[in-house]
Amino acid sequence: MPEFPYLQIETKESKGEVTVFAAIDTKRLTFANGVVVNLKKTPFKENEVLLSADFGYGKSGEPVPGLSLLTSNVMNRSGTARLTRGEFDRVLAGSSVELSFAVKPLSFSWQGKALNHEMELLFQVLQSYLLDPGVDADGFQVSMDLFSQQYKALASDVQGAMVLHGDTFLAGGNKDFGFPPWEEFKKLRLAQIENWIKPACTSGVLEISLVGDFDEKEIVLLAEKYFSTLPVRERKSIHKGKVEFPKGETLGLTIPSSIDKGMLILAWRSDDFWDIQQTRGFHLLSSIFSDKLRQVIRERLGAAYSPQVFNNPSRIYKGYGVMQTWLIVNPSQMDMLKKEVLQIAAELHQGKITVEELERAKGPSLTALKDMVRTNNYWLRSVLSLSARYPQQLEWPTTILQSFAGFRVEDIQKLSKKFLNPEQAASIEVVPQ
C-alpha cells in the first residue's frame, strides 16, 4: 500500500492537558491550540476503533436552507484540494480506514473507523481533510442530479410529503426544518459550500473522540503529532430564535399517486433534548401511546398498517420538539382514524395509564439499553462526541439504566398531562390524487 501523502506541518512540543473521568473510565486531552481529544478504551469489539471528529457548528449555523443536505452529499464525493476522491480511494485501497462526512445538528463531523494497527493512517487522512479540504465540482453536479431525482420521487410519495411540507409546517413555517422547495434548492452553488465548510475545517472548534480497542499511549502520541499543531481553533456562539408550533391547525395535501393510500400524522409540541430525564420519559410515553394505538387500530378496527409514535426533540432550538403519530391509511378511513388517535391522546392526557402498560413499555427499552451500553457506537455518539461542549453527556451513562427502571406511572402521567392535550394537536393529512 502506498504511503498516504499527508500534510507536513511544523512540529513543536505540545503536551496536552489530561482530564480523567473516572466514573466512566474516560480521558480527555486538551491541547494549547484548543483541540480536544476524548479517549475511551473498550473491550466490546477486538481491534476495532471508531472515531468522530466534530468541528464547527453544523446545521445550527446553516446560512441558507438546504445547504446542509447538499454539503453532506458533496463532501462525501470530494477529496482534498490536492487529492480527488478517486485518488483517495486508491491510496486507501486494501486498508481498513473509512471516513464519511455528515452535517449534524450542532457540528460538522467526520465519522471514521479503522483497525487499531492503522490508526496513524486514519489520523493522516483526517488531518488532510481538516487542513486541506476539497469541494469537488463533479461531486457537486452528481449531487444536484441525484437531488433532482429525489425531489421528483418525494413529490409522488405520501411519506415524501412530510419532508417537503410537513416538517416545515410543524415548525410554524421555519425553513430550517424539512427540505426547501426545489426551485430554491437548485439555486445553491458550489461556492456556498466552500465558504461555509472551509473556515470550519481550518479554524472551527474541533473535538475528536475515539472509542475502541487501542493502545492509549500510542494514540496520545499520534494525537499530539497530527492535531496539537493544527491552527488555533475559534469558538463562537450560535443563537437561534424560537419556533412556533401550529397548535390545532391542519395541513391538507394532495399528491399525484396511483397508489390508493394516504398518510395521517397527528403531532404535539414537546420539548428540546437537553432535560435528559424528560427525554427518557417521552420515550416511554411514546411506547405506551404506540401500544394503545396498535391495539385499537389493528385489532379493533382491522387496519392493515402499523402506527408509529415517536418524539423528536431539538438539540438546536430551546424548548422545541415534536411528538408525532404516523399512520399509513386508506383515505376513506382518514376521519375515523383521526378521531381514534385523538381519543387515545385524550385518555393519556387524563392520566389513564396503568402500571401494566408502563412495565410493558419498560421491558423492551431496558433490554435494548443493556445491549446498547456495551457497544462502541453508544459511547462514541451518545456520550463522548461533543462532550467538551455539553459535559452533561458524561453523566448520562451513569444513570441511564436505573433512570428507565425507576420511572413511575405518575412520572409519565405528568408528561402526558402537560403535552398531550388533544385540542393542541396539529394534523397533516396526505391523500393521493
Q: Which pLDDT tens digit goes with each residue over 351-410?
A: 999 999 999 999 999 999 999 999 999 999 999 999 999 999 999 999 999 999 999 999
Q: What are phi and psi of 360, to 5 degrees?
A: -65, -30
| Triad 202, 205, 211: Cα angle to 5° | 105
Residues 6+ apart with CB under 8 A from 325: 265, 266, 267, 289, 290, 293, 307, 308, 309, 341
DSSP 273: S
The Cα–Cα gap between 260 and 316 comes to 37
Report the DSSP pairing between strands 250-255 and 426-432. Answer: parallel
SS3 285: helix
The Cα–Cα gap between 146 and 74 comes to 11
Domains (range + CATH), the chain: 17-227 (3.30.830.10), 250-432 (3.30.830.10)
pLDDT tens across the length of the chain (433 residues): 346 665 655 555 556 899 999 999 999 999 999 999 999 999 999 999 999 999 999 999 999 999 999 999 999 999 998 888 888 888 889 999 999 999 999 999 999 999 999 999 999 999 999 999 999 999 999 999 999 999 999 999 999 999 999 999 999 999 999 999 999 999 999 999 999 999 999 999 999 999 999 999 999 999 999 999 999 998 888 778 889 999 999 999 999 887 788 999 999 999 999 999 999 999 999 999 999 999 888 777 776 567 899 999 999 999 999 999 999 888 988 999 999 999 999 999 999 999 999 999 999 999 999 999 999 999 999 999 999 999 999 999 999 999 999 999 999 999 999 999 999 999 999 999 8
Give residue 305's pLDDT: 67
Give residue 8's pLDDT: 55
Chain-centroid distance, C-alpha 362: 24
Per-residue cell: 345: 391522546
Give residue 333's pLDDT: 87
Residues 6+ apart with CB under 8 A from 300: none
* Count of other CB atoms within 10 angstroms of residue 355: 9
Report the DSSP pairing between strands 206-212 and 36-41. Answer: parallel
| Triad 63, 66, 67: Cα angle to 5° | 55
Contact in structure between 287 and 275 (CB atoms under 8 Å): no
Give residue 2's pLDDT: 44
Give residue 1's pLDDT: 39
SS3 368: helix
Rounded to 10°, the helix 355-372/396-405 angle is: 150
The Cα–Cα gap between 388 and 248 comes to 40
DSSP 426: E
Give residue 4's pLDDT: 63
